[in-house]
Structure 1
């Protein structure tokens, strides 16, 4: 039986990933901040497909959330660190509390959940960790220095962890989406979405399902010789060699 864990699973990319991995998984652990109707819907949809799904609520930057998610697990095949937040602010108006919150959700969360996953995966001698980064972690963006720094940190973290866990055949990769039409992005407003779409050669934003397909590939045996990689799913917005 394959077991997978997705953080930030209630909607957007997390929801799409949870459902996509459910096609090949038997047991799912779904994290989100609160027990929303969106999270309940994902859980029920997975259960209807025969997946044993359970919920692990809480803030990913809180160590107790990760501890609860891993409670009773003796195996984990796939971890997807997806939970994130997004808001714009110029650096002159960005508070230390806002900076700290951005870093804690993205980097503390990835660290805490990866630490728990690594313990299990090293013991079993296999596993895949996929961290959701962003093209802004490669390119930067005006009024998003805090978000870009957090996502750039995710990329560096993924590369280092890939080297550290490789002797145990544990693969670590990151997916760096471009603008993706999720509820989090929709809250940025129509002007932001229009301007964001215009900067991509494909002239559109991506879908959560398009990101989930790449995550599923990295989680599968088809990517068995890939680790430490950054896969850009960004409509051509970042062509990084």
Structure 2
């Protein structure tokens, strides 16, 4: 039995991660910005599988959300920082508010939850943190400089925390997905999806379940000798020599 926390759990990748991690007897702490039918359905289905579900609603960019999620928590085995938003704009037209919001949700959000988890996991002498980055944090992307910068920051945060927390038995890894068919991407339309799929050697986008499988692996004992690693679930879009 384990206790795990997933941010941005209502839909898409976060939803698939929560389902993939959950086993009977577990305690699942599910964060999302606000109540939704998708989050309620996820909670009901996990409860039916014998999982104790706790909802931790709130904006991950606000440190109070992490503080509330960890209040009274005596143990946490797995943290997955998944919450994210997408906003496209050329830098010449990008407002400071647009830049700030992307950085705050992705990078500050991961920071707030990693900070709280690190304190708890150091005391218990174990734990696994998995941060969701992106292939764009490695490659960059026109009109998404704020998103790419945030995801690149998450990669650096992951590697730095892995070094800092390893002496305490805490592993920190990341998953850098390529394009995936999630509700956030589907809203961009069929033309975008077709063009995006053509960028990858496998000529398709990934699924939330394929990305979740990498997260579940990194959180498991099967990855017990892995820390500071960024797994690229990206259809071959990033190939390191």
TM-score, length-scaled by structure 2: 0.98
Report matched runs for 1:180-195 at 5 Å.
Answer: 180-195=180-195
Report matched runs for 1:20-169 at 5 Å.
Answer: 20-23=20-23, 26-169=26-169
Deviation at 1:120, TM superposition (A): 0.9
Instruction: Measure the CA separation in 2 of the matches of 1:83 and 1:45.
Output: 21
Deviation at 1:182, TM superposition (A): 0.3
Instruction: Measure the CA separation in 2 of the matches of 1:36 and 1:27.
Output: 20
- Structure 2's unaligned 5+ residue stretches are none
Query: Secondary structure in 2 aligned to 1:129?
Result: strand
Instruction: Measure the CA separation in 2 of the matches of 1:61 and 1:70.
Output: 15
Deviations 1:66-109 (A, max 9, x none): 11111121000000000000121110111000000000000110
Instruction: Assess if the C-alpha contact under 8 Å between 1:3 and 1:25 holds in 2.
Output: no
- Structure 1's unaligned 5+ residue stretches are none
Query: Secondary structure in 1 aligned to 2:87?
Result: coil
Instruction: Measure the CA separation in 1 of the matches of 2:204 and 2:232.
Output: 15
Instruction: Measure the CA separation in 1 of the matches of 2:62 and 2:186.
Output: 27
- In the alignment, is residue 225 of structure 1 matched against residue 225 of structure 2? yes
Instruction: Assess if the C-alpha contact under 8 Å between 1:2 and 1:77 holds in 2.
Output: yes
Instruction: Measure the CA separation in 2 of the matches of 1:9 and 1:182.
Output: 12
Query: Secondary structure in 1 aligned to 2:172?
Result: strand
Say what the alpha-carbon RMSD is for the aligned residues. Answer: 0.9
Instruction: Assess if the C-alpha contact under 8 Å between 2:25 and 2:50 holds in 1.
Output: no
Instruction: Assess if the C-alpha contact under 8 Å between 1:135 and 1:238 holds in 2.
Output: yes
Instruction: Assess if the C-alpha contact under 8 Å between 1:84 and 1:106 holds in 2.
Output: yes
Distance 1:25 1:152, change over 3 A: farther
2:215 is matched with: 215
Instruction: Assess if the C-alpha contact under 8 Å between 1:162 and 1:172 holds in 2.
Output: yes
- Tell me the matched-pair count: 241
1:175 is matched with: 175
Instruction: Measure the CA separation in 2 of the matches of 1:106 and 1:24.
Output: 30
TM-score, length-scaled by structure 1: 0.98
Distance 1:200 1:25, change over 3 A: farther
- In the alignment, is residue 237 of structure 1 matched against residue 237 of structure 2? yes
Deviation at 1:24, TM superposition (A): 6.7
Instruction: Measure the CA separation in 2 of the matches of 1:148 and 1:194.
Output: 21
Instruction: Measure the CA separation in 1 of the matches of 2:85 and 2:11.
Output: 12
Query: Secondary structure in 1 aligned to 2:92?
Result: helix
